[in-house]
Structure formats: C-alpha cells, structure tokens
Copies of this chain bind each other. A is one copy, B any other.
Amino acid sequence: MEGNQSNIAAASPNGASSVPAGQELAMQTLSYSSQPPAPHTPSAPLQQSRNSIRLLSGILAVNILLLGSALVCGAAFSKVKVLSDEEMHIYLTILLILTTAWMIFYMVHTASRTQAVLYKDSHAGPIWLRGGLVLFGLASLIMDVFKIGFSTGQLNCESPVKVTFPLVQLVFVVVQTYFLWVHSKDCVQKESNITGCGLMLTLATNLMLWMSAVADESLHQTGEESLKPNGSFSHLRDGSMFFKAGGSGCECTHSACGIFEKGFYYLYPFNIEYSLFASAMAYVMWKNIGREIDDCSHHKISFRAKEIVFGVIVGLLVVIAGLGVFIVYEVEVTGDASKKRVLIMYYTFSIIVLILMSLASLAGSIIYRFDKRTLVSTKNPTRSLDVALLLGAALGQFLISYFSIVAIVAEKNTGSISMLNLTCSCLIILQLCLQNVFIIEGLHKQPYHAEPPVVSVVFINEGTSHSNPYSPSLKNDNDEPSPAENSLELSSHSHDFRSTTHSSSSHMSWKRRALKEISMFLLLCNVIFWIIPAFGARPQFDNGLEEWVYGFSMWVAIVNIGLPFGIFYRMHSVASLFEVYLTT
C-alpha cells in the first residue's frame, strides 16, 4: 500500500515545488475550487465519435442549404423564368416530410430507449425560448391555414404543390413545436449518428424555410412597390389594392381570397421568427449530443422585485411611453401629412431611450470593475453558446444601422428626419455594444449568493472514509441567505461536493442594488424595443431615404434579413438580463 502510494501521480499545477506532498495535493484541491480542469471533457473515443458525427451531419446540412439557396436564388432573382416557385416548394415539401418523419421516429423510438437520454441540460431550451416558439408557432399555424385557403381558390390554374406545401408545413409546425418543447434539453447518448443527422436536417429545414420566407416576403414587397406609380411602401398598408401573388395572373375562385392573402403576408414575420427560434434550439440540441453533464445548478434564488424601485419605475414609464408612441405611429403613419410628425416622434423617443440605456449599461460595466466577485471559471458550453447567439443576433441590427448611416451620410441629406435617423442609428450601434459587454460580464460573474463551491474531500481508504470539508475564505459580498448550489465536476462522473449556506440577513450593498436596478431597467427597455418592430412598425421603409439610395429590392432584402435577427436579439437580451438580475 505504501509502495503504491509513492508511485501516485500528483499532477500538481505547481510543477516541481518543494512543498510536502500532502500539502501540495491539498493546494491542488484548493485550486480546483477556483479552476477545475475542464469539467465536461469526455473520454477520447467518445470525443472522436462526437467529432465524426459533427463532421458528417455538418456536411449534410451544408449540402441541403447550398442546394436550397441555389433554388431560392434561381427562383427569386433569375431574369429568365427557368426556375419557378414550384421546384422550390417541392424541395421544401420533401425536406419537411423527412424532418417530420425523423422527429416522430426520435420521439417514438430513440427517446424511449433505455439510457438514450441520461442527462438533461438545464440551460438549454429556457422558458422564454420555448414560450416564444409556441407563440410564433401559433401564428405560423394561422398563416398556413390562410395559405391553404388562398391556394384552394387557385387550384384551377396553379399547381397542386401550392396547396400541399402549407398542409405539410402545418403538420411540421405542430410536430416540431411539440418535439422542441419536450426534448430541447436532451443530451442524447444512443444512436447519436442518426440523431446528429436528424438534428442537422431539422436545422437546415428551418433555415431553408427562413430563407424562402425572406425571399418571398421581399419579392412580395417589391411587387407591391412596382405596382405603385410613385411613393413609398407605407401607402399600401391599408390594403386597398389586391396583388396577385408572384404576378401569375391566376384568378381566385372564392371571395375570401383577398382576406387570406392579406392575412398571410401579415403573418410572415412571425413565421420567420419561428424558424429562427427552432433553428437555435435544434442547434443547441445538436451541440449537446453525447454530452455528459450532471447539471444541478438550479437557480433557487427567488425573484423579489420589491427592493428594486427606481429601475422598475423608469423602465415601466419607458414601456408605457413606447406603447403610446407605437399606437400613434401605426395609426398616423399611413397619412402623408402626419407621417413626418410621427417619424420625428418615433425617432425622438428612440434616441432618448437609447441614451438612457447606453448610460445604464456603461454604469453597470464600470460597477463590475469594482466588483470583487470571482468569475465563473468552469467552462460552460451552454453559456458560451448563449453568448454566441446573443452576439450573432445583434449583427442583424448592426447591418441595418450601418446601411442607414452610409445612406444618410452619402446623400448629404440634412433634413430633420435624416438627422434624427442618423443619430438613432449611431446610438443603436453604441447601445448594442455597451449592452453586450454588460450582459456578458454579468453572465460570467459568480452568483452573489453562491460561495465558490466548497470541495468536500474524501480519501477512501479500504472502506473507511474521512470527510473534511475545506472552505476557502475568499472575500465576498455575500450577506443574504439563499442556497445556490454550484455543481462542479472534476470528471464526467459524479463527485462529492457540497455547498455551504450562509444564513445572515442584511440589506444589499449599493453595488448589488445598482446592478439590479440597471438590469431591470434595461430589461424593460428591451421589451419595448422588441414590441415595436415585432408588431409591425417599419420606420426603415416609412422614411423612404435608404430605399431611394440602395434601390427598393436591395433595401427590402436587408431589412427582411436584419430585422428578424434584431427582434430575436431583443428577446434574447430580455432573458439574459433576467438571468443577470437573478444572479446579482
């Protein structure tokens, strides 16, 4: 036994030191509490098989997407009409059927196998994402019903594919929403090859739906524009005209066609959001294939807003003012006379709120500099993914803002609306950068109530075990009771760690309070900046400047690509800010 012990590897991070062995191992243990060695590292063959699954399924998705984008581009932008919508719809229908079939197979067969889903990722598929999915899913269902109604009226002259496609899409939306609601947290261990390809198929199908919806919507808007002799897009909002879809000249046989068509074009943006949400969730599931986690970090911190007054009040004022602006905007923007006034009102409101938000984010980031909390050093793939999605989604808003700025500066237009638009675009960029920094710093901080996890060290020696919890005395602002367990893994297997719970009650430090106020204020502001574009305000078209500089079809494409990401970003930041609020 003693001989054995002298051979033991003490892979100490301190290298060759002169510290006695026992002490050195104790130091190593201590260092685990601040930096555990890559907790979720799977074994080598497992990692290898994960890599090969990723490679194969990634290649599959790339092929589906590139073939699809060739079809979309061919159908949308080709001058000679060699490619029609029909090929595109046949391709999409096939994809939808395959994906639906795989999801049913997964739910019936794979997930029900023993040991297929041993672990659940508690960070994946948060409630806001699943809630948003159901909400937008419902809108997509209504859109599909409208589409079916519209297409049945055109059956005499249009191909039957036009009816089949929304029918299949309807089934797909129902199955997929249920599938993602139930299984979005799964870390699949069995049949990972099929699951990997299936999830990549789901991702690719959703992205294809997104792509074709963006192209459809852009063409539709461009078609509307070309029907008008002069002027701007907003005139068509009242729907006084009725456009033939795609200009095919096919007459509808029943009278409800007009309502159906108006309805489904109104619901398009929700369907685009639905595809984005489903893509994000499928991607997270795909990243979780074969992951072995033992994730029990349930934030049991209760939500008590009563101590937070200032942030909530100012935030609520902003939301109420925003709703007022939104309603006035929607009512008045259709008239030529009132449009300029409404736009000035909208931009002024945005500028004021954006300045407040930027200042709040900046103040928050400065407070973090003085914050003594330790950083969460465990590598958390879900958090990294979350941050990546947040940053990626912000690109949409960046895109629109930069195109606006370039257009205004190049046109040298010094009208009041252009100047306000310019200021607003610059402020959006600034605000997004500052808010991203604030959120990411907040997410990386150790929760206020959670002490750095205490490593309960057990030395098993032929049946007898001595337990001796060692609690490092790190400086911390903890002074409130709240048990937050922080699980820490040294390997993929389970370990014996316990967290101590301090029980003492006092008021919050000013830093914590300020951070909580700031995150609550930002949260509410993001809610209103989500509502305004999500429910149809489009100053990007109403001011008419950019569409004149870039040409209508190009500007429509940019807005249709950028805006859904912008909306997704606002929802995502609301969720992230709520997490920052809770952990502060």
Is there an interface contact between B83 and A549, defined as CB atoms closer than 8 Å? yes
Q: A96-137: which have CB < 8 Å to B? A: none
Tell me if A13 counts as interface (CB < 8 A to partner B).
Answer: yes
- Nearest-neighbour CB distance to chain B for A456, whole angstroms, equals 9
- Nearest-neighbour CB distance to chain B for A209, whole angstroms, equals 18
Q: Which of B21, B41, B66, B83 contacts A399 (CB 8 A)?
A: B66
List of B residues within 8 angstroms of A8 by Cβ:
22, 25-26, 29, 457, 459
- Nearest-neighbour CB distance to chain B for A196, whole angstroms, equals 15
Tell me if A548 counts as interface (CB < 8 A to partner B).
Answer: yes
Tell me if A444 counts as interface (CB < 8 A to partner B).
Answer: yes
Is there an interface contact between A74 and B410, defined as CB atoms closer than 8 Å? yes
Interface digits, A566-580 against B, CB 8 Å rule (1 contact, 0 not)?
000000000000000
User: Known contacts A11-B490, A491-B11: does B406 contact A63 (CB below 8 Å)?
Assistant: no
Total number of A residues with any Cβ neighbor in B under 8 Å? 103
Is there an interface contact between A462 and B20, defined as CB atoms closer than 8 Å? yes
Which residue from chain B places its CB closest to the CB of A407 in the assembled complex? B74
Is there an interface contact between A67 and B26, defined as CB atoms closer than 8 Å? no
List of B residues within 8 angstroms of A470 by Cβ:
7
Is there an interface contact between B492 and A457, defined as CB atoms closer than 8 Å? no
Chain B interface: which of A43-51, A147-155, A516-524?
Answer: A43-51
Q: How far is the CA of A489 from the CA of B69 in the complex (A)?
A: 45
Q: Which of B12, B20, B73 contacts A4 (CB 8 A)?
A: B20
List of B residues within 8 angstroms of A459 by Cβ:
5-10, 21
User: Known contacts A9-B26, A11-B495: does B21 contact A462 (CB below 8 Å)?
Assistant: yes
Tell me if A55 counts as interface (CB < 8 A to partner B).
Answer: yes
Q: How far is the CA of A436 from the CA of B56 in the complex (A)?
A: 10
Which residue from chain B places its CB closest to the CB of A490 in the assembled complex? B11
Q: A298-350: which have CB < 8 Å to B? A: none
Is there an interface contact between B37 and A491, defined as CB atoms closer than 8 Å? yes
Q: A12-31: which have CB < 8 Å to B? A: 12-26, 28-29
Is there an interface contact between B58 and A391, defined as CB atoms closer than 8 Å? yes
Is there an interface contact between A398 and B63, defined as CB atoms closer than 8 Å? yes
List of B residues within 8 angstroms of A32 by Cβ:
9, 11
Tell me if A508 counts as interface (CB < 8 A to partner B).
Answer: no
Is there an interface contact between A15 and B494, defined as CB atoms closer than 8 Å? yes
Is there an interface contact between B5 and A22, defined as CB atoms closer than 8 Å? yes
Tell me if A466 counts as interface (CB < 8 A to partner B).
Answer: yes
- Nearest-neighbour CB distance to chain B for A407, whole angstroms, equals 7
Q: How far is the CA of A43 from the CA of B80 in the complex (A)?
A: 60
Is there an interface contact between A82 and B411, defined as CB atoms closer than 8 Å? yes
Q: A385-423: which have CB < 8 Å to B? A: 391, 395, 398-399, 402-403, 405-407, 410-411
Q: How far is the CA of A51 from the CA of B375 in the complex (A)?
A: 12
Is there an interface contact between B551 and A70, defined as CB atoms closer than 8 Å? no
- Nearest-neighbour CB distance to chain B for A95, whole angstroms, equals 15
Q: Which of B25, B69, B410 contacts A9 (CB 8 A)?
A: B25
Q: How far is the CA of A463 from the CA of B17 in the complex (A)?
A: 9
Q: Which of B375, B405, B492 contacts A45 (CB 8 A)?
A: B375
Is there an interface contact between B462 and A410, defined as CB atoms closer than 8 Å? no
Q: A39-95: which have CB < 8 Å to B? A: 41, 43-45, 47-48, 51-52, 55-56, 58-59, 62-63, 66-67, 69-71, 73-74, 77-80, 82-83, 87
Q: How far is the CA of A391 from the CA of B9 in the complex (A)?
A: 39
Tell me if A1 counts as interface (CB < 8 A to partner B).
Answer: yes
Q: A460-503: which have CB < 8 Å to B? A: 460-463, 466, 468, 470, 490-496
Tell me if A429 counts as interface (CB < 8 A to partner B).
Answer: yes
Tell me if A234 counts as interface (CB < 8 A to partner B).
Answer: no
List of B residues within 8 angstroms of A395 by Cβ:
62, 66
| 24 sampled A-B residue pairs with Cβ under 8 A | A5-B22, A6-B466, A7-B468, A8-B25, A10-B458, A11-B490, A12-B460, A13-B491, A16-B460, A20-B462, A21-B459, A21-B462, A45-B375, A55-B437, A58-B391, A63-B402, A66-B395, A67-B406, A69-B402, A71-B406, A74-B410, A78-B551, A80-B548, A82-B407
- Assuming A8-B26, A11-B490, A11-B491, what are 17 further A-B pairs, CB within 8 angstroms? A1-B22, A8-B457, A34-B43, A34-B44, A37-B491, A45-B375, A55-B440, A58-B391, A63-B433, A66-B398, A71-B406, A74-B406, A74-B550, A82-B410, A82-B549, A83-B549, A87-B410
Q: Which 6 A-B pairs have the closest CB atoms?
A: A38-B38, A4-B22, A44-B377, A9-B29, A11-B490, A13-B491
